Amino acid sequence: MKVRTLQFWFILTLLLVGSTLELALGMFGILLPVLVPLIFYMTMVYGWRTGTIAAIGGALWTDLACGRAFPVLLPVLGAVVLTSWYCRRRSEISELPDMLLPALAASGAAEAVWLVVGLLQAPLEVGTVWLLTARGIWLTALGMVIAFFLYYWLDKAADRLGLPVGVTRRQVRPGRRRWPQVRTGR
Amino acid sequence: MPTPVESNIRRRLLFLAAAGLFCILAIAGWSTLRETIGRVAGDFLYPYLLLSRLGADRLSDQTLLVFSRRELAEQLELQRNENRRLAAQSAAAAELLVENDQLRQQLKLSPPPSWHYVNAEIILRDPRFWNERLTVDRGSLDGITPGAAVMTTTADGGVILVGVVTRVTKHSAEVITVFNPELRISAALPLSNAVGIVNPGERLARAGKVDIGFLPVERNYVTEEVLQTTGFERQIPPGIKIGNLASIQQVDSLFSSELYLRGTFVPAVDLNSSRFVVVADRADRPQETEP
């Protein structure tokens, strides 16, 4: 199978699983950011074009499934793509812990958009604003942790499938397909 | 190369930053996770909490053999008292069981004339807008149409409004609840003989409370009075409880030029404990014919 075709199915499967997991947990009131780390991974590894397409697909699918009047996930995941793209240009993920700061930034950008959306709808009182802010801080940290594990596992899976991986150190291993090095701002 | 003193200062600063970050996350996480973890932990920890009790019982059984007659008699008396207490609890639980059966029966509510009810289960909740939207497992194949009223029952058998169906597929329907600022319906206050509009603004005024506007000025409003549906909307039956009036705008009728008043009410529905709902539909609705 061609790498591009395999990559397409890999991304599609990840999006469907991520979206379903987020919705299924949401049914029990558990708010777990899965799509945000996924889009972060895709943008960091495959670039902003793939990231944008995946973000649009994932956002529309999830928003429609939830029946939201406004596709609020579009700006949220858009912010993730932008932040990840900026981080990809500025830094190189040569070791796994290198992705922690970009993941924190992407997760924070997503939660910042959620906070703005929340503040536009919620009552303007101290308790509610604090609740929304606290949720944003907590989910930012949680998103970073989830992104760390996702990055690790998805890189392993991609490595086995012969797809591009996120940690550049792995890309120079003999016998594996070489992928263009991540551009750096330096 | 940093000197040992500099390195020590750096280490301390790093420790302080980490401690600060931990404090922020702990404070932020507390208010966020309190509800979710409480919901999950109750069921998850139950078997483990029970283990200590089982161990204690086993130990108690073993030590029973070394007691004297007098001690055993005391234990027996204590056990009898315990049994009496448990019997009372069991009777109370039996009452709850009967009440549960009654509630299930109430789901088979008899609809008003020219209405029919469809029972439905909530299958999807939006985690970000928990109180505002939900999806039920009944759709157009069950006769549900957009605009239909969605209701639930209270412990005393009363019917309360949950929201209104906005979009219908063959097997599911999306509902916006009274907490959603998009839901605008008329509401009657029978005690004050007034009618207002629910959610006149773009956002909720206060957490847990919903706005009501366009209330006539010359009325004596009483807080806690009941808000009901009016029947002005074709697909919402009249007389369904929406909530209780919480506050009303105070104006001086002599000097104010206000034509209408605003207020807030507390919706009667508790969406955290609602799992089953009833969707109302008009029985005299003209049937769509297949082309």
Instruction: Give the list of residues 6+ apart from residue B263 with CB closer than 8 angstroms, or none.
Output: B196, B211, B212, B213, B215, B221, B245, B246, B247, B248, B249
Q: Helix A35-46 and helix A3-27: axis angle, to 10°?
A: 160
Query: Which regions of chain B carry the CATH code 2.40.10.340?
Result: 117-285
Determine the Cα–Cα distance for residues A6 and A135; give it in Å rounded to an integer. 37
Query: pLDDT at position A139, please?
Result: 92
Q: Do B35 and A134 touch (CB under 8 A)?
A: no
pLDDT tens digits in sequence order for chain B, 291 residues long: 677 788 888 888 888 888 888 777 777 776 666 666 665 655 665 666 667 677 877 887 777 777 788 888 888 889 899 998 898 888 878 777 765 665 665 566 677 777 888 888 888 888 888 888 888 888 888 888 899 999 888 766 778 899 999 888 888 898 999 988 888 999 999 988 899 999 887 766 677 888 898 888 878 888 889 999 998 888 888 888 999 998 888 877 677 777 888 889 999 888 877 778 889 887 766 555 444
Q: Per residue in A74-114, pLDDT tens? A: 999 999 999 999 988 887 777 888 888 999 999 999 999 99
The secondary structure of A130-142, three-state, reads HHHHHHHHHHHHH
Give how far B100 is from chain A: nearest CA, Å.
Answer: 23
Which is it for the CA torsion B38, B39, B40, B42, positive or negative?
A: positive
- How far CA A126 is from CA of A137, B144, B162, in Å, comes to 16, 40, 27
Sign of CA dihedral B45, B51, B52, B57: positive
Q: What is the pLDDT of residue A93?
A: 78
Q: How far is B167 from chain A (nearest CA, A)?
A: 8
Task: Give, as one character, the DSSP assignment of residue A96.
Answer: G
Neighbours of B116 (CB within 10 A): 14
- B239 Ramachandran zone, left/alpha/beta (phi>0; psi -120 to 50): left
- H helices of A28-163, where? 35-46, 48-66, 73-90, 100-121, 126-161
Query: Which residues does chain A have within 8 Å of residue B205's beta carbon, measured at their own beta carbons?
Result: 123
How far apart are alpha carbons B145 and B114 in whole angstroms? 16
Q: What percent of chain A has pLDDT over 70?
A: 89
Partners of B197 in the β-ladder: B186, B213
DSSP B66: G
Grade residue A52 by pLDDT with cuts at 50, 70 and 90: very high
pLDDT, residue B98, reads 63
Q: Interface of chain A against chain B, CB under 8 Å?
A: 22-23, 25-31, 65-69, 72, 114, 120-125, 127-128, 130-131, 133-139, 141
Query: Which residues from A are below 8 Å from B127, CB to CB?
Result: 22, 25-27, 29-31
Interfacial residues of B (vs A; Cβ cutoff 8 Å): 24-25, 27-33, 35-36, 39-40, 123-130, 133, 135, 166-167, 174, 181-182, 203-207
B20-32 CB burial, b ≥16 within 10 A, e <16: eeeeebeebbeeb
Residue B85 and residue B82: Cα distance in Å, rounded? 5
Q: Cβ of A67 and B25 within 8 Å? A: no
Long-range contacts, stretch A161-167, CB < 8 angstroms, 24+ apart: A161/A6, A161/A10, A162/A3, A162/A6, A163/A3, A163/A6, A163/A7, A163/A10, A164/A7, A164/A45, A164/A46, A165/A45, A166/A41, A166/A44, A166/A45, A166/A93, A166/A99, A167/A93, A167/A94, A167/A95, A167/A96, A167/A98, A167/A99
Q: Cα–Cα–Cα angle for B119, B120, B121, nearest 5°?
A: 140
Of A114, A121, A137, the CB nearest to B181: A121
Measured between alpha carbons, how far is residue A170 from residues A177, B30, B213 in Å? 10, 39, 63
Specify the fold of B117-285.
Answer: Thrombin, subunit H (2.40.10)
**CATH label, A3-167, candidates 1.10.10, 1.10.3470, 1.20.1740, 1.10.1760:** 1.10.1760
B222 three-class SS: coil
Closest CA relative to residue B213, chosen from B260, B245, B161, B163: B260
The two structure tokens encoding residue A121: 């709808």
Mean pLDDT, chain A, whole residue set = 84
Please report which helix (H) or strand (E) contains residue B252, including its range: none
Which residues of chain B lie closer than 8 angstroms to A127, CB-CB?
A: 207
- Please report residues of B whose CB lies closer than 8 A to that of A27: 123-125, 127
The residue extents of the domains of chain A are 3-167
Model confidence at A25: pLDDT above 90: no
Report how far residue B63's alpha carbon sits from residue B51's, in angstroms, rounded to the nearest whole number. Answer: 18
Among residues B267, B225, B220, which one has the least CA distance to residue B245?
Answer: B225
Cβ distance B249 to B201 under 8 Å? no
In angstroms, rounded to a whole number, what is the distance separating the alpha carbons of residues A147 and A75? 19
Gyration radius from chain B CA atoms: 28
Maximal C-alpha separation, chain B: 89
Q: How does DSSP classify residue B67? A: -
- Selecting from A72, A121, A127 the residue whose C-beta is nearest the C-beta of B203 gives A121
> What is the reported pLDDT for A179?
47
Kindly tell me if the per-residue pLDDT of A172 is higher than 50. Answer: no
Mention every residue, 6+ apart, whose C-beta is less than 8 A from residue B105: none
Strand partners, B265: B210, B245
Interface test with A, best of B32, B130, B171, B180 (most A CBs within 10 A): B32
Q: Is the pLDDT of residue A130 over 80?
A: yes
pLDDT tops 60 at residue A158: yes
The candidate with the shortest Cα–Cα distance to B164, out of B198, B212, B215, is B198
